[in-house]
Amino acid sequence: MTSLLDLAPVVPVVVIEDAADAVPLARALVAGGLPTIEVTLRTPAALDAIRAISDEVPDAVVGAGTVISADGVDAAVAAGARFLVSPGWTKTLLDAMQRSGVPFLPGVSTTSEVVALLERGVDEMKFFPAEAAGGTAYLRSLAGPLPQARFCPTGGISLASAPSYLALPNVGCVGGTWMLPADALAAKDWGSIEELAAGAAALRG
């Protein structure tokens, strides 16, 4: 099975306020070349959005982000999430994600957290908040002692900074929101979002 980190160079991190927007938004992202879509569990519409994308956009690989509890794991998988992403992790949350049967990216921001996950057999992680936690310099410093750990950095990454992350040997993809500008979402301008997604999909390390 292809690693979640290798499906596309950029994972759009989506906050959906209205579940009715989920399917046209997902279709625009997929058409632009970004099939891996993280819908954050930050709004009441999130689970319905995941369910709609799972049911109606077969080319999308939809997952749940901001997963912070075992209940959230169960609800996301029941809604059709094909992967899980957390901003951080605890033993309870990690146990639930490992039991879920779907790929997951637990969030880390320190070397000790990375080592603890490797100890648990987890070698693919979200690095969050990427820019605030040290950015490319921090990740580059981890590659020497911990080459087996691979990351999806998320948090503060832009179209301009993404290539420097993707060039690192321990980064498979990045998470971002720059292809989802608020004005385009508000106007339901799916064409603009597709164009921005295409620009992100063209990024290579």
Question: Residue 203 CA to chain centroid, in angstroms?
Answer: 16
- Omega into 129 within 30° of 0, i.e. cis? yes
Dist. CA 95–CA 92, nearest whole Å: 5
Known active-site residue 188:
no
Tens of pLDDT along the chain (205 residues)?
Answer: 679 999 999 999 999 999 999 999 999 999 999 999 999 999 999 999 999 999 999 999 999 999 999 999 999 999 999 999 999 999 999 999 999 999 999 999 999 999 999 999 999 999 999 999 999 999 999 999 999 999 999 999 999 999 999 999 999 999 999 999 999 999 999 999 999 999 999 996 4
Catalytic option among 17, 56, 126, 131:
126
Which of 61, 75, 67, 55 has its CA nearest to residue 12?
61
